[in-house]
Structure 1
């Protein structure tokens, strides 16, 4: 029979090469995934900053129009007070520390 003969050393070397190739492929995939996540994170930050600046400019523009055109007292209070309430709420939520205390009674895990 004219079969292909493989020695045990060649078999171990072949399996070793396959393992190294698999390891390199996985490392490259992990690196690519980390780079993609970092890029998405940076894009989210820029997008958030853009939305914050746009909304702040919109609030300032409305306030300026009301103040410049001598709106009534209640309109002035609403235009200045409402954004202040939203800002106070956002700051309070951002600066409030909350914890979740879980008990380990009953043996459930």
Structure 2
């Protein structure tokens, strides 16, 4: 019976090759994940900008119709005031600084 005989050097070299292959595979996976996240964040920004522009155009169109056709002053106040309230709410939330103070005592994360 002639079995497979390997020297300790050959076994160590084989294990080393497996470790290097695993390391290269994981590095490639990390790089691919980072590239995908970068693409997603860019797409989110474009999507957000598109939605903001569409909603702004919709608000301007409704305001233009109400202002160009004289009607009640309450309707005009609602059409001009309601978007101003939403805009002020969004700006206030965006400019408000909030912090979460956590204690690092106790050893728990």
TM-score, reference length from structure 1: 0.91
Give the total of aligned pairs: 108
1:48 aligned partner: 48
Unaligned runs of 5+ in 1: none
1:78 aligned partner: 78
CA, structure 1 residues 40+61, in 2 after alignment: closer, same or farther (shift >3 Å)? same
Query: Quick one: distance in 1 between partners of 2:14 and 2:99?
Result: 54
The Cα shift of 1:100 comes to 2.9
CA, structure 1 residues 31+101, in 2 after alignment: closer, same or farther (shift >3 Å)? closer
Unaligned runs of 5+ in 2: none
Quote the RMSD (CA, aligned, Å): 1.7
Q: Deviations over 1:43-78 (max 9, x none)?
A: 111111100000000000000000011121111111
The Cα shift of 1:99 comes to 2.2
The Cα shift of 1:101 comes to 3.6
2:31 aligned partner: 31
Query: Quick one: distance in 2 between partners of 1:104 and 1:13?
Result: 44
Query: Quick one: distance in 2 between partners of 1:101 and 1:8?
Result: 55
The within-5 A match list for 1:1-109 is: 1-102=1-102, 109=108
TM-score, reference length from structure 2: 0.91
Query: Quick one: distance in 2 between partners of 1:80 and 1:60?
Result: 9
CA, structure 1 residues 30+53, in 2 after alignment: closer, same or farther (shift >3 Å)? same
